[in-house]
Chain A
């Protein structure tokens, strides 16, 4: 990673070869309708090279061998791109490291004897399914409301190079499109607002000529759905940008507001 154009050399010290004993406080909840509570676990022999989820794997292995139900959490690709993993770790979505998802967070960021509080993402629009798993389908409904370009998949479109696109615009669209839809922005926000997510999706299309055609309807429909899902309002605190594992910029929110306003005027 480059910081101000320079490779970032901080954090080269590691706890790789020391094993750690950790005190875990984990949210356990049987299902959506049952009440949940924090349960304490102690875990020994944790190595710095383990990812956070591999640490939980080991805990679960121990629980299963004792005949207890393991802690359920969402995860899949374990390389930071599918956006499935979540977790509020010591109060921060995806934990203390920056620009990573929980699956890429490594235990070398913690110290022997640490207490770690592990909770699900908390938001009204993300109800708990079980333990640390939440239902993020509200995000899908926002995308279904307009997060697409209405083009048939017949392949009979114009040649891909028929419309040149300014590299700067294409790169900015790409930056917005790297959003993995994990929900950390919502979990980081005191209002549980989904503005960063929605604006990233709106921006990707707004920046491309192909997306301009339906820009007015898109932003209106997506914002309407976002409001219907019960997400809160944006008060520009910027916590979402800080916690976003993909570094999605607040600029996208400004762009969406502009799109929304101009859509309302056309409207």
Chain B
């Protein structure tokens, strides 16, 4: 094994991070001025890292494909951010947050990393408030919390349904302060095309200016990849249209191991697909499960009548509804973790109880919450014996204050009023737990190449709990990476500026150009989207919410064939040396066509069900996931060896010293 050294510090769990910070080498402030760091991606992880690195004194260059760093897709995160502040006095602690996250991840994440995450979570909230993030507050002026899936405490901080936006604007503001000081050079509408290695170390990137088409060389003493997840391999996902795996995959091809690619989160509450024209899916925040009750009709004939438009959900009597999450998981009810909720929805719809015209939707119903809040509000407003209409009116106002923007978004997309009729939802690809393998310092297997946020694999195991992605992104960016990277950079204080006229840069640029020319030479008739949609169908049908060995074997073969077809035939108009959105998409889809195959290979090799990875062959009689800790309690880190199917497996055994492995139960 050897190559995979996770570098977890010794000592008791709760002391590891402090001890590590005391032990690692530092770079003195005068020397930091001579060190350049490249940060690719400017979401929560990249933006926070860039701001902090610049503040520490490093010279930072940031790159994003968007026209502004603040448009990175972290902005779309809705529900909230977890922190073990225990402001609600409900017994929360760092340990509980750590434990919930490990359990939520179905015991496939690293103890030390997750504990560190819980440990710094409180600082994140302090930091964000100091930056002017307008979190929701109670009337007494204190911060408000809500609860999220998979936990029994209220530890989620939020800013309406736009928490990601507010946190990203906070990180961007911190970046702006450094841009204004000249410590960050922000390159927007730029895409990283390849990683440049000099003597085995990451020393720069080749980037394309998306406006002019120009190919640029940028050097640095280290490269941080904070480029998000690869959910768009499914074509339809809640990711932004431009979200892609290119930077991570380019690094993988240059030697960075890719860990657990099959660990993908299918989020239970998204707006269902409406037709073939669909370009992306929209999430309805998990926070809605605090107040919404999920159900399908109990009787098949009612489900059929609803699908045919002959029956309205509001006409169905209480006893004819199957609140299947409350039925199957009484302890957690509608707040079970995402993987459990998604599979339960699929189970009901596969059994024929789905509700919209496609049969792939379940209800998320706010009627009882509206009544409950309405009664409470009437009481506190001093209204005696309120009538039904008053209660509903007051209740709707409370719901609007909590989730107004989400309800509005739903209404605009679906054209139904969710205050009056239950929302329809269905699971959709949302987040990828897998990603570049990193050690405790967030360094990949390429020296000098770091990865932060969703782009790395580290903290969420096989399933991520709600409101934890924002926490991890900011923890990595603000509080972990800027310190751990110093340990590596301390060797570079005498290196001097990395020249970009070296052979390594020449060669990398040449390869980038050749790849684009090859893409442009396709002779067929189909567009990039045609191939992307085809890939998405294979992924959704064979590597989606439930997988089996036969389907996965087919997927590997079909993706390889599709990739060959793509490279020979894809049709891209325009030129290389000008703005060309089709060429941009083609480069991204080309990498998805490789990643998809590795994804299927990883899913095929993992003969167990855990978290978001559900193999039909491995389930209990009740249809719950059947984990195999004896044989699969490890991180699967894949080394690139040419074709994705030839990737070589390296295992990082997961050691649980502080937590006893249990069968996850939310009953």
Interface positions of A (Cβ within 8 A of B): 1-2, 5-9, 11-12, 14, 16, 30-31, 47, 49-51, 53-54, 57-58, 60-61, 63-65, 67-70, 72, 74-84, 97, 99-100, 104, 106, 108, 129-130, 133, 135-137, 139-140, 143-161, 163-167, 170-171, 173-174, 177-178, 180-181, 204-205, 208, 210-211
Contact = CB atoms under 8 A, between A and B. Distances in A.
Most buried by B among A69, A148, A149, A211: A148
Given A61-B527, A177-B166, A137 B188 contact: yes
A108 B140 CA distance: 44
Most buried by B among A5, A145, A153, A155: A153
A208 B173 CA distance: 15
Contacts of B479: 155
Nearest to A208: B132
B415 A153 contact: no
10 contacts: A2-B396, A2-B400, A2-B404, A31-B578, A65-B571, A76-B73, A78-B282, A147-B173, A149-B130, A155-B126
B184 to A, nearest CB: 10
Given A2-B400, A47-B277, A153-B478, A164 B141 contact: yes
A161 B55 CA distance: 25
Contacts of B404: 1-2
Contacts of A76: 66, 71, 73, 240-242
Contacts of A204: 132, 134
Contacts of B525: 65
Interface string B30-71: 000000000000000000100110010000000000111011
A104 B130 contact: no
B417 interface: yes
B409 interface: yes
B495 interface: no
A70 to B, nearest CB: 6
A77 B126 contact: no
Contact of B180 (A14, A145, A154): A145
Contacts of B179: 144
A102 to B, nearest CB: 12
Given A144-B176, A153-B52, A165 B126 contact: no
Nearest to A139: B68
A131 B512 CA distance: 27
Contacts of B166: 174, 177
A161 B136 contact: no
Contact of A151 (B130, B136, B159): B130
B395 to A, nearest CB: 11
In order of increasing CB-CB distance, the 8 nearest A-B pairs are A164-B141, A155-B123, A148-B173, A157-B130, A174-B134, A173-B134, A160-B129, A64-B527
A77 B73 contact: yes
Contacts of B68: 136-137, 139-140, 181
A170 B137 contact: yes
Interface in B104-153: 120, 123-132, 134-143
Contacts of B478: 153, 155
A166 B139 CA distance: 7
A67 B397 CA distance: 52
Contacts of B411: 1
Nearest to A246: B405
B527 to A, nearest CB: 4
A81 B411 CA distance: 16
Contacts, number: 240
Contact of B573 (A11, A67, A157, A181): A67
B134 A82 contact: no
B250 interface: no
A139 B275 CA distance: 36
Nearest to B165: A81
B392 to A, nearest CB: 10
A82 B66 contact: yes
Interface in B162-202: 162, 165-166, 169, 172-174, 176-177, 179-180, 186, 188
Given A67-B573, A210-B130, A54 B278 contact: yes
Contacts of B188: 137, 140
Interface in B390-420: 393, 396-397, 400, 404-405, 407-409, 411-413, 415-417, 419-420
B492 to A, nearest CB: 23
A150 B282 CA distance: 35
A81 B72 CA distance: 10
A64 B51 contact: no
Contacts of A70: 573, 581-582
Nearest to A74: B67
A149 B132 contact: yes
B76 interface: yes
B663 interface: no
Contacts of A53: 279
Contacts of B573: 63-64, 67-70
Contact of B280 (A2, A60, A78): A78
Given A72-B581, A148-B174, A80 B279 contact: no
A146 B186 CA distance: 16
A50 B275 CA distance: 8
A100 B264 CA distance: 30
Contact of A77 (B75, B160, B412): B75
Given A2-B396, A160-B126, A181-B68, A49 B274 contact: yes
Given A160-B85, A164-B141, A153 B51 contact: yes
Given A69-B574, A77-B75, A165 B277 contact: no
A178 B568 CA distance: 45
Contact of A78 (B70, B160, B240, B416): B240
A77 B168 CA distance: 14
A174 to B, nearest CB: 4
Contacts of B581: 70, 72
B579 interface: yes
Contacts of A211: 132
Most buried by A among B52, B274, B275, B529: B274
B656 interface: no
Nearest to A66: B573
Contact of A135 (B67, B142, B574): B67
B211 interface: yes
A151 B131 contact: yes
Nearest to A149: B132
Contact of B412 (A16, A97, A143): A97
B103 to A, nearest CB: 26
B143 A161 contact: yes
B409 A80 contact: yes
A161 to B, nearest CB: 5
Given A1-B407, A72-B579, A144-B179, A81 B174 contact: no
A127 to B, nearest CB: 11
Contacts of A152: 55
A144 B573 CA distance: 37
Contacts of B172: 143
